[in-house]
Amino acid sequence: MPEFIDRFINMGSSLVPGKALILYGPRRAGKTTLLKSYLASCGLRYRLETGDDVRIRHLLGSGDLKQIVAFAEGFDLVAIDEAQQIPGVGMGLKILVDQLPDLRIIATGSSSFDLAGAVGEPLTGRKQTLTLFPISQMELKQRFNSYDLRQRLEEYLVYGSYPEIVVTEGRREKIALLEELVGSYLMKDVLALERIRSSRTLVDLLKLIAFQVGSEVSLTELATQVRLDVKTVGRYLDILEKGFVIVRVGGFSRNLRSEVTSKAKYYFLDNGVRNAVIGQYNLLDSRNDIGILWENFVVAERLKKRSYHGIYGTFHFWRTYDGQEIDYVEERDGGLFGFECKWSSKRRDKPPKKWRDSYPEATFERVTPDNYLDFVG
């Protein structure tokens, strides 16, 4: 297994003078490695600092125009890793953009909580954003052919695709890394960023979501089970989504009374994180949730592809009140596309009758281990 896997994001093509490049993504998705790799080969005179440095936090958060400009003078590129650690970093970056129009600027952040809020208004019209996810099947296709990827599919379904996990051999080693990743990231970063006092409540909420992947979720039922009010549960779910832990998928409807839109589904952006939350690392032959794992994997990988390839449009699930459903629906380029995630390749399901009747122009396709790379790769 290679120790470094080429990432799909090309920082050089996205980096232009006069705009800050903001690279979001979960902790340990590979942002620092990607940044250092780019800097080593860019041919520019650069300055790399980190938001973990107290001096840098004080400087860029101070708003001191003279000192901030002096800090960047003589460099073609200034890069700030872990920029979300710097209070008021947005104003510091704005000063650099405004006062040094030929300067290239990169800022990375392990979550979109603080960094998005900090740079949003000050850098309106002055930034470009990218998101780096755990390693995608698209990226792995650059190293492995389709046969080898399918042979490794069980590993991705159980242990996920964080870079350290992918390049580590050995079941016990992968599990140890996942436990540490989830424990330090979820319980440290997420709790600290939004001052959530009860880590146990957050874990309980995540466990409920983990067991309901692919099913519609009722905030009222979640609130009852974790003994919180509905508004607080909604806020916690929003925090987890902005922290790149889960993603919300809403229901699709064109105002037909028979279609469900009041509830949402939640998926984990990484299968390994989902399994770590519930402490379930069994291999597929001794599990009863293969369908859940497959659906979560397919949706997460598709969202990575949409982000990296710039596939615009909306994504949903579709269900009627009498139980007809489609796992994943995209509306884009004037078309409507339905996809059903099935671990078994033997069945050849037809699209639901109400889907055919209501949307005769729409397509329908089953995504199985035999053809999934066409959808996500």
CATH code, domain with 42? 3.40.50.300
Look at the chain and report how many structural domains it folds into. 2
131, 163, 181 — which closes off a domain? 131
Is 168 found in the same domain as 283?
yes
Which residue type is seen at 239? Answer: I
Is 103 found in the same domain as 176?
no
Query: What is the average pLDDT score of the chain?
Result: 90
Is 125 found in the same domain as 63?
yes
Is 164 found in the same domain as 267?
yes
270, 288, 315 — which closes off a domain? 315
Is 283 found in the same domain as 195?
yes
Is 299 found in the same domain as 159?
yes
- Listed as ranges, residues in the chain with pLDDT below 70 are 1-4, 111-121, 186-198
Would you state the pLDDT for residue 2?
Answer: 46
Q: Using alpha carbons, select from 328, 312, 323 the residue that is nearest to residue 363.
A: 328
User: What residues make up the domain containing 205?
Assistant: 137-315
Burial class (CB in 10 A: 0-12, 13-18, 19+), 285: exposed
Distance, CA of 331 to CA of 325 (rounded, Å): 16
22 phi/psi in degrees, rounded to 5: -105, 120
Would you state the pLDDT for residue 196?
Answer: 65
Domain-embedded: residue 374: no
Q: Provide the β-strand partners of residue 81.
A: 50
193 phi/psi in degrees, rounded to 5: -65, -35
- Distant-in-sequence, close-in-space partners of 206: CB < 8 Å, separation ≥ 6: 186, 240, 245, 246, 277
pTM score, two decimals?
0.93
300, 315, 330 — which closes off a domain? 315
C-alpha distances (whole Å) from 195 to each of 120, 168, 188, 199 are 21, 33, 10, 10
Would you state the pLDDT for residue 118?
Answer: 57
